[in-house]
A and B are shown apart, each in its own frame.
Chain A
Amino acid sequence: MIVQELHKLQTKHGYLPRQELVALGERLAVPLYRIQEVVSFFPHYRTSPTAELEIHVCQDMACHLRGSAGVLQELREAAAGREGQLKICGASCLGRCDRAPAARIYEQGNEHSVYNLHRRSAQEIIEAASTLLSGKSNQLVVNDTDHAWPPPQKDWQIDIYASQPVSERYASIRRFIQAGDNSAAVQTVLGSLKTAWLLGLGGAGGRAYKKWEETLKEHQKRDEKAYVVCNGDESEPATFKDRELFLRTPHLVVEGVILAGLVVGASKGYIYIRHEYEEQIAAVREEIKAAEAAGTCGDNILGSGMSFPVEVFVSPGGYICGEQTALIEAIQDQRAEPRNRPPELQTNGLWDMPTLLSNVETFAWVPAIVVRDQGKWFQEQGQEWNQWTQLTANLAAETGDRGWTEAFGKGTHFKGRRFFSVSGDVERAGAYEVPIGITLGELIATCGGMRGGEALKAVALSGPSGGFLPRFIKTEHLSAKIRKMLPTELKAFDLCELQLDMNLFRQWGLMLGAGITIYSESADLVEQAYSASHFYARESCGKCVPCRIGSTKIAQVSSQLRVRKLTRKQIDELFQKDGPLLDLAGTMSSTAICGLGQIAANPLMSLLRYFPDEAYAYAAQS
């Protein structure tokens, strides 16, 4: 209750007055420190009144690339001396990377409205702010809603209901109930997910059917509660596909969540959405109402006696909330600090009960898989293997790699479709649904090619988490296993030829996420490494030492490099074998509690490894 109550109080007062917090502590019978722990953790909460308008400007990947630092600078200058009226804040990725630079204006009066400003100049933002301050009608203020922005792709195959009347939706729920025999229906669903070989699309790419099965089994072992949680925190820079799925196909997400709830026998479902997604929150809430009206959600679903209510949980904010255990902590009114694992959520999840937590897209694919033809269509969607993949497959077969064999057997093509958020230097940035196994080159082509026809220099394939990779990656920088497999005369590998699939990437020792940022020759990667390193330092929850202190140290080095404080010699010393940076990065990755700390050094480390010349260009002269 603390999180929701704080939300209400802040909406009412514009901030959280002390006496209200004291009263809240008494009302909920929790000690004051518990309230302080929550209030101070989420930057969204304020304990003192703020300016009339707060302008937040994204500082991350695509936005930084499109000059958000300059925009911030201009805004700060314009706001100088108007502290009571205007407050300018640098923000973490706002999930609008395809419309960079992204900004938001929060208005304190007027029910605390929010205005999105996408791909706007500092001048335009200042004008909007002045209009608001002058108290003139809101009509005059630009508000770049997500609804209004035209999608780059018209048809999504994920939406099997696209050309059908609304009443056709929730077919998987109807079938599940009508099957009568519950355990047979459960097996059908699990079988479909297995046939489809649907992988989790939010994190490490675990097999979806297995997670469902494990949660179900745990729940059966002890006849208590179980939960389904849909992870729509989506705060990783460069990632915004869930934003589009929520907005355009909320019914698919809700259907996937309800079916999961029925299969594992859960008592409640939560759809966790970042608070900056106001339109999406509204869309999902409306869709839940529609599902309830149709009898497919809530009490006594379709007269079956089974109940499964679904609720939107608005995130109090922060990238770390997307980490699965931190998200659970946030729902439990705690600081969103990741838990030590094991145990896993399938056994000890929300309120210590078996919990199925997956990404928005993982749930959204469920109707297309289950309703169409029990997974067969989906698994045939992937691309044929190209020569590099074939080589990798041979290698995997040789070494008896179980993961690979389980995934593909004797096959020669990838399985399924998925979404990528593409941002940066492409003609048409946006969220794209593509067959799995599309190469990087093909993906860029799908986005209309490189912006202004420039050459591709670098790519970030998992938001900032995997660091920056050069288009032509030297074979000496690939793992020994892959190097051996490639023709000896090959000195550099063209990443554009690499098929985008999580199984393949795992073999290559690379990270593939849902957010891809493309950098052309003109991009400044020192700036990018700087911005990404600061992102992690800003978003570290601070629970564990390696990340709390380490991420800040990495950010400090990136700042020094950027302001040309490091000599070439110092750069080399920092990065040499057994030098401080590799030791630090290695320790962060081996001892941090969660994925954030484990990869926080990647952007800087990849800059130094793959683009040393860019770093040297920033070297101090003596």
Chain B
Amino acid sequence: MADDRYFDEQAQRWEEEGLFARDLDGQLIRDVAPEASDYGNMVEVLIDGQAVVVPRAVPTTDAQGNILFVDASGKTIPRRTTIYDAFRLLCGTVSPEKTPTLPLIPTLCHAEHLHPVGVCRVCSVELGRLEDDPKNPGKKIVRGGGKLVPACVQPVEERMVVSTLRAKDEKSSGRVKSALRVLLELLASEHLPVSSDRPPLEKSDFARLVDSLAPHLNLQPQRLAFEPAKIHPQDNSSLLIQIDHSACILCDRCSRSCADVKQNFVIGRTGKGFSARIGFDLNDPMGESSCVSCGECMLNCPTTALTFRKSIVSEWYEEELQRPGRSAVTPEEMEASALLATLPFRYRQWNQSSVVRWKVKAGDELCALGEHGSTAFILNKGRFGGWRSDPRLAKKKQRKGLTGLLASFFEPKQEQAIFGPPDFEMTEADLILGEMTCLNHYPRTATVRALTDGEVFIIRRNVLFTLQRSPAARRQLDGVYRQRAITSHLRRVPFFAALTADERKTCQDFLQDRVKLLNLEPGQAIFRQGESADAFYMVRIGHVKVSISQSGSEQVLSYLGPDKHFGEIGLIADSPEFATDIPPGLSSRRTANCTALDDVEIVRIGKDDFRDLLLRVPTLKTQVVAEAHRTLARRSQAETAPRPSSPLLAEFLDQGLYNAQKLLVLDLEACTRCDECTKACADTHGGVPRLIRDGLRFDKWLVASACRSCTDPYCLVGCPVDAIHRKADRNEIQIESHCIGCGLCAANCPYGNINMHQEDDGPILRSRATMCDLCHDIVAPEEDVSCVFACPHNAAFRMSGAELLQRVTPVG
């Protein structure tokens, strides 16, 4: 009746140790966290006969696909390389789905940024070990073939022989094929709705996988549908996400996303065995659980179990659509843009109102120098010109008050004439523009206008952020971003300011491929006192703390903001080429610690490249040598020179005041605690005060809890619907009415200046984020905001952190 394979192999498998549980000496392999040295520890793996050499560890990446760094020396967090990683490496950027000669390993439960759980088993591959043939010396044999393992979990080991469903050996590929066929049939027969009363909501990744493999594997889910699929109830309680439990394949991607990516800890598995499902909190309806509707689970769900329910419509979108040349883009139409096509369909639906089509006419202005903004432009068609200086800016500065500002806004476009020829030109080959301001919240560095008629997609920050999740889109965007970031930085920073145009060009050409752009998290060390100097750094974004360690405690010396540079002295100290120029007494070791205070983006130039550069550009060399002399001189007078005491400075940095542009500070000697400021705020903001007259003290000042308009706002990062951003002119942060109340910004603000406010009649959700908006629609930019205006005792002020520090220690 049947063949014997199943019965013959049965008893051997039961409870057996994995083939690669032991190393070549028969010792059990312990699973330990890999180390950086494993990056260089190479292993050769054979996949379908093709050799691929991979490191034992690869750097951990986040949900955005960015490599995570421990510190600015470029130190990363290694994770074990799996068979699946090796397979990706082997295939490089080509897609094995479309290249029938490459090995193929499909996945469902696995996502590279989530720790592997190995539950769906569709990535099963056959595994063997290459060993010396005892009978034929000098020959090799493969031992242990026949064992299937999940490629997404199994770390690579020496002498692995992997067979995928495309292996040449038919016995091996047959085994994998048959397993994959059954697994997909099992899943499809239970979780792919076929009945007409429940039409599939969309083509999910899972459905696509089934479709694409169906002809090759001869998939017939019906042959395992012995009984009708079990129907689970739907959960429609969440206003944002609709849950179809019947479609859930229990891949655990949502729960891992919720806990590991967003740290929300809401989703888990509930029940056991066949009836196990995902559950929220104590298996509560999603809408009644502690779910904050961040949408992360839905974006990661490979099925139609979690789908999007209601489109978020922002005021920006509605206004934008009223303007000439603008029109809506449907999720389907987004497919036409190579970049937008990489977004999950569900995400396109959800954030449809974050994308607008603009048929531009020659002369239309896309963005203006110095403006803030949270949009970027995907260039579909046309030519565009950019100006790095804007004659209107000078004019604007001369006018005062609200009327002046308004006038400048409605400036007629004929000003083209005084613009002259553009500094640079762009076409659709440049993919995108405006992405820098959109991502890092700094003002636009150029004015851009259309030179011909054309078409762009205006996208908002959340879309740009999510685009980076697709490896393909990320690679493109990264390339563009790095190149432009470095170019614009080199052009801007004071370090190169004294150079002639030619010299600057030399620098740029030399450095373009030699510098590194690094992203650091708050608290990450860039270098430590006593280490030998190996690089020069320029801050692009964020702030760096300079401190020394003295008898066990930390003494803060200063902090460095955007465009500042550091670390050059140590690089020339021990170099023979510079020996004659520099004063003695300089050390090639670091004399201080440099640590990221907030999210820092930094440009790093290695020691050798830096020295090379100085030799090529004598002006720079002179500048650095002069700096070295000044440093020494400063050090010798360090005792006498007045500067803020270290504890005060440390306090200043601890409280994050360096980052603040619009602190609300109360002079505690004048303040009578009358609370007029709070009342004024409430009166002008619908009864909900946006400030709390409490907070930390700094000297005799009370730093009240109200938005500080940080140079680098933490709160803007990651808002899933781009409801919070910085507006031009006044630097205020604004929250738009389409906020879904996920609470991310409030959690991100380190100073507690955003509050989640319960709203019963809101359009979508129960709560909304509220914060100080600098009274932007009540008072003119130059006028006092309500709280300051209301203070009867002249105790309330708005000022930047630096100004506050000046007041406390009136020195330079």
Listed in ascending order, the chain A residues whose CB lies under 8 Å from chain B are: 18, 21-22, 31-37, 39-43, 203-204, 214, 218, 221, 318, 335, 340-344, 346-348, 465-466, 477, 479-480, 505-506, 509-511, 537-546, 548-553, 556-557, 560, 572, 575-577, 579-580, 582-587, 589-593, 595, 598-599, 602, 605, 608-609, 612
Contacts and interface: CB of A to CB of B under 8 A. Distances in A.
Contacts of B271: 40-41, 542
Contacts of B250: 542, 545, 548
6 contacts: A218-B30, A510-B11, A542-B275, A544-B121, A546-B183, A589-B13
A448 B119 CA distance: 47
B281 A36 contact: yes
A550 B147 CA distance: 19
Contacts of B276: 542, 548
Interface string B139-159: 000000001101001000000
A609 B1 CA distance: 8
B12 interface: yes
Interface stretch (B222-230, B234-242, B359-367): B222-230
A545 B183 contact: yes
A553 B224 contact: yes
B10 A21 contact: no
B281 A32 contact: yes
B187 A545 contact: yes
Interface stretch (B260-268, B424-432, B739-747, B799-807): B260-268
Nearest to B249: A545
Q: How large is the interface on B (under 10, 10 to 19, 20 to 34, 35 or more residues)?
A: 35 or more
B65 interface: no
A586 B266 CA distance: 37
Interface centre among A203, A342, A592 (most CB of B within 10 A): A342
B545 to A, nearest CB: 32
A605 B6 contact: yes
A32 B282 contact: yes
Contacts of A552: 273-274
B527 interface: no
A575 B11 CA distance: 20
A21 B224 CA distance: 40
B279 interface: yes
Interface string B11-35: 1111111101100000011110000
Nearest to B152: A340
Given A36-B268, A37-B269, A342-B18, A590 B179 contact: yes
Interface centre among A33, A477, A537 (most CB of B within 10 A): A33
B119 A582 contact: no
B525 interface: no
A509 B272 CA distance: 32
A541 B30 contact: no
A590 B124 contact: yes
Given A36-B281, A340-B118, A511 B11 contact: yes
Contacts of A583: 178, 181-182
B120 interface: yes
Nearest to A200: B15
A538 B279 CA distance: 20
A318 B272 CA distance: 10
Nearest to B267: A33
Contacts of A587: 178-179, 182-183
A551 B178 CA distance: 17
A342 B8 contact: no
A542 B274 CA distance: 6
Contacts of B84: none
Contacts of A344: 17, 21, 28
Nearest to B280: A33
Given A31-B265, A589-B10, A343 B29 contact: yes
B409 interface: no
Contacts of A586: 5-6, 178-179, 182
A580 B219 CA distance: 11
A43 B17 contact: no
B280 A348 contact: no
Nearest to A584: B182
Interface string B102-123: 0000000000000001111110
B777 interface: no
B806 to A, nearest CB: 44
B474 to A, nearest CB: 29
Contacts of A39: 282
A204 B16 contact: yes
A36 to B, nearest CB: 5
Contact of A509 (B11, B18, B190): B11
B270 interface: yes
B29 A546 contact: no
B782 interface: no
Contacts of B283: 36, 40
A590 B275 CA distance: 23
Contacts of B282: 18, 21-22, 32-33, 35-36, 39
Contacts of B147: 590
B410 interface: no
A545 B121 contact: yes
B9 interface: yes
Given A40-B279, A538-B273, A542-B250, 17 more contacts: A40-B271, A341-B17, A342-B18, A511-B10, A542-B272, A545-B122, A546-B182, A549-B190, A551-B274, A556-B227, A579-B2, A582-B6, A586-B178, A590-B175, A591-B124, A591-B183, A608-B1
A599 B9 CA distance: 11
Contact of A540 (B21, B273, B281): B273
B502 interface: no
A346 B28 contact: yes
B701 to A, nearest CB: 36
Contact of A591 (B4, B148, B255, B268): B148
B3 interface: yes
A593 B15 CA distance: 10
A367 to B, nearest CB: 26
Interface in B643-700: none
Interface centre among A18, A347, A590 (most CB of B within 10 A): A590
B6 A585 contact: yes
B2 A33 contact: no
A224 to B, nearest CB: 12
In the complex, the 3 A-B pairs of residues with the closest C-beta atoms, listed nearest first: A33-B268, A31-B265, A347-B30
A37 B268 CA distance: 6
A18 B284 CA distance: 11
Nearest to A540: B273
B224 A580 contact: yes
A560 B226 contact: yes
B485 interface: no
Contacts of B9: 589-590
A550 B186 CA distance: 7
B273 A539 contact: yes
Contacts of A537: 273-274
A506 B282 CA distance: 46
Nearest to B31: A343
A582 B249 CA distance: 23
Contact of A580 (B13, B124, B148, B223): B223
A539 B273 CA distance: 7
Nearest to B275: A542
Contacts of A605: 6-7
B32 to A, nearest CB: 9
A153 B797 CA distance: 92
Nearest to A38: B268
Nearest to A341: B18
A41 B11 contact: no
Contacts of A511: 10-11, 14
Interface in B573-596: none
Interface in B167-190: 175, 178-179, 181-183, 186-187, 189-190
B118 A593 contact: yes
B31 A590 contact: no
A43 B255 CA distance: 22
Contacts of B178: 583, 586-587
Contacts of B10: 509, 511, 589, 599, 602
